[in-house]
């Protein structure tokens, strides 16, 4: 299956050009699940190599409108790997301490070490998404007065680009996913959170209020993705109306990207091999 969703977008990205539904010819539910299981097995082996290789880290960034399936996708794709080498961080409303620092500070503290996988459920991109839709939040950040809001967003895009290029230069593979859900599907999922008792805890009045700003969010995502899509930190726009296909796309992108690193288990020198062989007698 050739899918446009498995290729990164570029600076010409426009939301309207990307469907929220799987393309024609996409695998059905059972086929998608089978392929996902294969990806999980490959990812398990790739993570072992990543940890042993110790020259790269993997940073996965998930951004989406509410109910798009970030949590479920992270759980479904990463469930087969060693939790000791994978850490998930969820970034919600910033604390007073975080507001006393620049907008990259709170995520910088959570970057993955070499050999590890770090997952950001939301990220520093919130500062050019929700803050762009609600610029009144800037009052809490006590920034120097910008010439204009447009200049502020452009400066933040530049900071993000430089930040991600710095990470890439130092061995971090940065993969960014926008789970692209339709407004109609989001409404359906919100209603299920009301109708199904086991999902009641997920329902938030604030999420419903944010739906009123849908078009503003689409514009914010379009600008953020177009301005920060770079080869060293690619953006993938994933159709999120079908959860099974969405999870498969994410899994295949991650495994293919890791395979391109050509990770290998460390090889010992002849001297080191002879030394450990000499210790065999002690063990025997």
Beta pairing class for 117-121 and 172-180: unpaired
Its sign, for the CA torsion 43, 26, 8, 250, is negative
Number of H helices, E strands in the chain: 12, 5
Check whether 6 has a pLDDT greater than 90.
no
DSSP-based three-state secondary structure for 169 = helix
State mean pLDDT over 5-15. Answer: 89
Return the bridge partners of 57, or none.
Answer: 172
Residues listed for the chain:
284
Which uninterrupted H or E stretch holds 166? helix 149-169
Q: Where do the domains of the chain lie, and which CATH numbers do they carry?
A: 4-283 (3.40.50.300)
Nearest to 48 by CA among 58, 63, 38: 58
Q: How far is CA 134 from the centre of its chain?
A: 23
155-212, pLDDT tens digit by residue? 999 999 999 999 999 999 999 999 999 999 999 999 999 999 999 998 988 888 999 9
Q: Residue 3 — pLDDT band, cuts 50, 70, 90?
A: low
Q: How far apart are CA 114 and CA 52, in angstroms?
A: 10
* Farthest CA pair distance, the chain: 74
Check whether 23 has a pLDDT greater than 50.
yes
pLDDT cut 70: percent of the chain above it: 98
Q: Compute φ and ψ for 168, nearest 5 degrees.
A: -65, -40
State mean pLDDT over 44-54. Answer: 95
pLDDT value of position 151: 96
Give the count of beta carbons closer than 10 Å to the beta carbon of residue 89: 16
Question: CA end-to-end span of the chain, whole Å?
Answer: 53
75-131, pLDDT tens digit by residue? 999 998 999 999 999 999 999 999 999 999 999 999 999 999 999 999 999 999 999
Check whether 1 has a pLDDT greater than 70.
no
Q: Residue 283 — pLDDT band, cuts 50, 70, 90?
A: confident
Residue pair 152/220 in contact by the 8 Å Cβ criterion: no
DSSP-based three-state secondary structure for 143 = coil
pLDDT value of position 4: 56
Phi-psi region at 28: left, alpha or beta (left = phi > 0; alpha = psi -120 to 50): beta
Q: Residue 284 — pLDDT band, cuts 50, 70, 90?
A: confident
pLDDT value of position 5: 59
Its sign, for the CA torsion 183, 186, 191, 192, is positive
Check whether 268 has a pLDDT greater than 90.
no
């Amino acid at each position: 299956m050739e899918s446009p969703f498995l290729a990164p977008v570029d600076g010409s990205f426009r939301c309207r050009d990307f469907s929220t539904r799987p393309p024609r010819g996409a695998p059905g539910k059972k086929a998608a699940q089978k392929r996902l299981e294969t990806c999980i097995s490959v990812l398990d082996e790739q993570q072992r190599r990543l940890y042993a290789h110790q020259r790269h880290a993997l940073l996965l960034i998930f951004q989406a409108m509410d109910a798009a399936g970030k949590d479920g996708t992270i759980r479904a794709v990463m469930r087969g790997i060693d939790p000791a080498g994978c850490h998930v961080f969820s970034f919600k409303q910033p604390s007073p301490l975080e507001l006393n620092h620049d907008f990259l500070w709170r995520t910088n503290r959570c970057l993955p070490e070499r050999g590890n996988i770090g997952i950001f459920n939301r990220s520093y991109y919130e500062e050019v998404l929700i803050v762009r839709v609600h610029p009144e939040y800037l009052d809490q950040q006590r920034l120097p007065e910008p010439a204009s809001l447009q200049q502020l967003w452009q400066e933040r895009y530049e900071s993000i680009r430089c930040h991600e290029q710095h990470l890439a230069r130092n061995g971090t593979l940065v993969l960014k996913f926008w789970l692209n859900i339709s407004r109609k599907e989001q409404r359906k999922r919100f209603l299920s959170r009301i109708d199904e008792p086991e999902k009641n805890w997920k329902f938030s009045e604030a999420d419903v209020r944010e739906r009123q700003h849908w078009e503003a969010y689409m514009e914010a995502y379009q600008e953020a993705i177009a301005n920060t899509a770079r080869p060293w930190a690619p953006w993938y726009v994933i159709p999120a109306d079908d959860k099974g296909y969405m999870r498969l796309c994410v899994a295949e992108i991650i495994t293919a990207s890791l395979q391109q690193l050509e990770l290998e288990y460390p090889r010992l020198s002849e001297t080191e091999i002879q030394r450990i062989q000499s210790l065999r007698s002690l063990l025997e």
